């Protein structure tokens, strides 16, 4: 059996194109400059926020003599781990930490629940004046907290709530404007088809909110809870103004509790206490930061 070539069989050959090297993309000097600028800004921001933290760490491991001598000796210090032991014994550290933990969990839970409810109402319920009320809520974010400090204290003092945790309960039930905005934006992005399907299945607004919308907002709920927890844990002004020594929080205790018999501040011990105060928030953020920018909305509606 003989084989015939395509030319012999009368089939025309395809023209052979000469080989050419792939074209290189033109260089973009503007993009390179933008990358360099971005790296410079990141390094500056890292230095701005990182240097104070490193200074606190070095202070917590130094002796008073090393801290008073020169900044250079802090880089060649012998760690004084006893500063951390003194930080937990000179004041009722664990009692104050328990107060801060209880108050932060209480406020974070109430603020998240109330802000999610209000955000859902602004996003899905049709009512006259809804846009105007939402604008008012956003406008309250522009009011400095220091401007309402004295009126807040006078109000709580007249109703007998100073020295208790009830102000934080009321603040939590009232919601947080930023968290309301966060939930409102998320609930607005959910397709209307999901809401229509729930109404056809007989769901009321409460059932729809609890069984459909809240499960979709798990990532937003977590973000709201962590933000509210961090704000309350690190708050100094409100506890110093409204609480007493029995229910004081750790932030206030670390700020003024480390004194020697002459009333002089123990800076190294205070640095150790401040580091222990920051540790829970750093650990909490380390375990949960990857959940901040997540959402399960994409798998909620099947095409």
Q: What pLDDT is recorded for position 23?
A: 58
Q: Based on C-alpha coordinates, what's the Rg of the chain?
A: 30
Give bridge partners of residue 9 from the DSSP assignment. none
Alpha helix positions (H), 175-249: 177-188, 192-200, 205-208, 214-216, 218-234, 237-242
Q: The tokens 């003989």 sit on which residue?
A: 2
Q: What pLDDT is recorded for position 38?
A: 86
Whether 138 and 194 map to the same domain: the answer is: yes
* Domain-located, residue 29: no
User: 218 vs 129, 168, 186, CA distance in Å?
Assistant: 29, 24, 11
Whether 137 and 238 map to the same domain: the answer is: yes
Whether 85 and 187 map to the same domain: the answer is: no
Whether 117 and 237 map to the same domain: the answer is: yes
Whether 121 and 230 map to the same domain: the answer is: yes
pLDDT band at 13 (very low <50, low <70, confident <90, very high): low
pTM value > 0.75: yes
Q: Rounded mean pLDDT of 248-261? A: 90
- Domain containing 198 — which CATH number? 1.10.3720.10
Q: What pLDDT is recorded for position 71?
A: 61
Q: What pLDDT is recorded for position 108?
A: 96
Whether 143 and 271 map to the same domain: the answer is: no
* pLDDT tens readout for residues 155-181: 999 999 999 999 999 999 999 999 999
Whether 146 and 206 map to the same domain: the answer is: yes
Rounded CA-CA distance 30/17 in Å is: 36
How far separated are the first and last CA of the chain, in Å rounded?
Answer: 57
Q: What pLDDT is recorded for position 259?
A: 86
The tokens for 221 are 């709920």
* Domain-located, residue 301: no
Alpha carbons within 13 angstroms on the beta-carbon side of residue 127 total: 11
Rounded CA-CA distance 190/297 in Å is: 7
Query: For residue 296, is pLDDT > 50?
Result: no
Q: What pLDDT is recorded for position 300?
A: 37
Rounded CA-CA distance 242/244 in Å is: 7
Q: What pLDDT is recorded for position 20?
A: 56
Q: Rounded mean pLDDT of 33-54? A: 84
Count of Cβ atoms closer than 10 Å to residue 280 Cβ: 17
- Greater confidence (71 vs 56) lies with 56
Rounded CA-CA distance 253/99 in Å is: 11
Question: Three-class SS of residue 181?
Answer: helix
Query: For residue 298, is pLDDT > 80?
Result: no
Q: What pLDDT is recorded for position 55?
A: 86
* Domain-located, residue 180: yes
* pLDDT tens readout for residues 94-129: 999 999 999 999 999 999 999 999 999 999 988 888
* Domain-located, residue 119: yes
* pLDDT tens readout for residues 256-271: 888 888 878 888 899 9
* pLDDT tens readout for residues 192-235: 888 888 888 888 888 899 998 999 888 899 999 999 999 999 99
Give bridge partners of residue 265 from the DSSP assignment. 259
Query: For residue 301, is pLDDT > 50?
Result: no
pLDDT band at 49 (very low <50, low <70, confident <90, very high): confident
- Greater confidence (233 vs 3) lies with 233
Q: Rounded mean pLDDT of 277-297? A: 74
Q: Which domain range does residue 208 map to?
A: 104-247
Whether 275 and 220 map to the same domain: the answer is: no
Rounded CA-CA distance 40/22 in Å is: 34
Residue 216 CA to chain centroid, in angstroms? Answer: 20
Tally of structural domains, the chain? 2
Whether 170 and 272 map to the same domain: the answer is: no
Q: What pLDDT is recorded for position 292?
A: 62
Q: What pLDDT is recorded for position 18?
A: 58
């Amino acid at each position: 059996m003989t084989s015939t070539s395509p030319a012999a069989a009368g089939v025309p050959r395809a023209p052979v194109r000469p080989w050419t090297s792939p074209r290189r993309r033109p260089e973009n000097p503007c993009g390179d400059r933008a990358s360099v600028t971005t790296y410079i800004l990141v390094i500056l921001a890292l230095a701005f926020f990182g240097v104070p933290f490193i200074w606190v760490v070095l202070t917590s491991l130094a002796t008073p003599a090393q801290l008073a001598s020169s900044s250079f000796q802090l880089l060649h210090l012998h760690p004084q781990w006893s500063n951390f032991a003194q930080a937990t014994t000179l004041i009722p550290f664990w009692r104050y930490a328990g107060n801060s933990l209880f108050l932060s969990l209480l406020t974070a839970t109430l603020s998240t629940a109330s802000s999610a409810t209000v955000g859902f109402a602004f996003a899905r319920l049709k009512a006259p004046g809804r846009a105007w009320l939402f604008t008012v809520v956003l406008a309250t974010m522009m009011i400095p907290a220091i401007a309402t400090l004295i009126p807040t204290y006078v109000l709580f003092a007249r109703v007998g709530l100073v020295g208790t945790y009830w102000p934080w309960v009321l603040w939590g039930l009232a919601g947080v404007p930023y968290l309301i905005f966060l939930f409102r934006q998320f609930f607005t992005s959910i397709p209307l088809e999901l809401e229509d399907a729930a109404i056809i299945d007989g769901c009321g607004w409460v059932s729809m909110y609890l069984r459909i919308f809240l499960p979709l907002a798990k990532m937003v709920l977590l973000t709201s809870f962590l933000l509210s927890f961090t704000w309350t844990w690190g708050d100094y002004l409100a506890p110093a103004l409204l609480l007493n020594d029995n229910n004081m929080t750790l932030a206030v205790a670390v700020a003024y509790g480390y004194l020697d018999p002459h009333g002089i501040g123990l800076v190294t011990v205070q640095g150790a206490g401040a580091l222990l105060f920051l540790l829970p928030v750093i650990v909490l953020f380390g375990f949960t930061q990857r959940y901040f920018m997540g959402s399960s909305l994409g798998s909620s509606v099947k095409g």
